[in-house]
Copies of this chain bind each other. A is one copy, B any other.
């Protein structure tokens, strides 16, 4: 296999990406106009179309970038020496990840769009599927080694863990009150359900 030579991304494209993220966070995907993005990026409306095929392509690019961030988690969960420790660490780190506003809000934005847009759904589902798979594998490994309880459908459990952490991240946005106690309880609950 030839070395994967990633075609360099035009820096302007990254600027547009950031501008779009800012807008989508502020107003949401459908409430954001292409003009808003161009203005935020400080470029002309027409020029945006030199870098992206259209509005949807911008979201697709965001979803793609977003998905790549998940691969770090996947790597950490793969073939863990200690499944329990690996999962616990994942939960901690994913909590932090999912609590960052850009991830929390963009996540729902992408998810809701994916519900009706197969194009986005494909991008969104690919990396997320891998993450779910990695968690499920970790759960299976733990079940085999006896540190985890065994479940018929580990993917369902994995999904639940993600749902819980992402829901928690979303709630952390609107609450200024301290989330420490609730985060601790959430983590304990999620782990307790796994213990044999």
Residues of B within 8 A of A154 (CB): 185
Contact yes or no, B189 A160, CB < 8 A: yes
Interface assignment of A55: CB less than 8 Å from any CB of chain B: no
**Interface residue tally of chain A, by bracket?**
35 or more
Interface assignment of A192: CB less than 8 Å from any CB of chain B: yes
A180 to chain B, nearest CB (A): 9
In terms of DSSP, what is the predominant structure of the interface of chain A? helix
Residues of B within 8 A of A184 (CB): 152-153
Interface assignment of A147: CB less than 8 Å from any CB of chain B: no
Copies in the complex: 4
Chain B binder among A14-22, A24-32, A60-68, A73-81: A24-32
What are 23 contact pairs spanning A and B, CB under 8 A? A27-B116, A28-B30, A28-B112, A109-B112, A112-B112, A151-B189, A153-B181, A153-B184, A153-B186, A155-B182, A156-B183, A156-B185, A156-B189, A159-B167, A159-B168, A159-B171, A160-B189, A160-B190, A167-B167, A190-B193, A191-B193, A192-B192, A193-B193
- The interface of chain A, by Cβ under 8 A from chain B, is 27-28, 30-31, 105, 108-109, 111-112, 115-116, 121, 149, 151-157, 159-160, 162-164, 166-168, 170-171, 173-174, 181-186, 188-195
